[in-house]
Amino acid sequence: MRLWALVFALIGAFWNLRLSEGIRFVIDRDECFSHDVKYEGDTVFVSFVVIKADSSWHTADEGVDLVIKGPSGEQIQDFRDATSDKFSFVSRQSGVHKFCFTNKSPYHETIDFDVHVNHFSYFEQHAKDEHFTPLLEQIGKLEEALYNIQFEQHWLEAQTDRQAIANDAMSRRAIHKAIFESLALVGASVLQVYLLQRLFERKLGTSRV
């Protein structure tokens, strides 16, 4: 029976890890998400990255506002005009927490958002044996360490995507600028040829008279 408790603890640890995946969405003005924190004292991890703005010629880093509220409506944290951030907090009470984004720019923006709650008390519920309890505690620490690695990896991947999109946009703008400058140069050359031709025609007409 104790062995099965250990097996279930391991399965639970890796199942929670597998479910800790972020989401990527497009925001126009306002977008809210909710996450149910089951127990008071749980640690909540949050990260977000503004991946891109839907404008080829947009060069400024437009940030978003994020407001986090607890189950009673109390404000826990807020960010203003942020392009990316990550943090954690300890929940003061169980219940549904709200995460509301506000986009104040005139462009649609793509945001990568990740939230996860760490809770390990179920280990104590499955095994009371003094020999198994330390092992289960180590499993809990392993789960937390693995999630922290995954959390950081997700954050870095989102940052990499943001930079890649920014570099691609800069390249496309550079190409467009080069094409525009080339067309302007060709247009100026054609205009010069036309004006010189008219000038020679006038001089030729004057000399004939």
Rg of the chain on CA atoms, in Å: 30
- Residues 6 or more apart in contact with residue 142 via CB below 8 angstroms: 13
Range of the domain at 114: 2-165
Question: What is the distance between the alpha carbons of residues 143 and 40, in angstroms, rounded to a whole number?
Answer: 19
What residue type is 104 in one-letter code? Answer: K
Identify the bridge partners of residue 195 per DSSP, sorted by sequence position: none
The domain total for the chain is 1
The answer, yes or no, to whether residue 70 has pLDDT greater than 50, is yes
Complete DSSP assignment for 43-64: EEEEEEEEEEES-TT--S---E
Q: Is residue 110 part of a domain?
A: yes
Q: What is the pLDDT of residues 88-133, one digit of tens each?
A: 999 999 999 999 999 998 889 999 999 988 775 544 444 455 555 6
Kindly state the percentage of the chain with pLDDT values over 70. Answer: 67
- Residue 51 belongs to a domain with what CATH number? 2.60.120.380
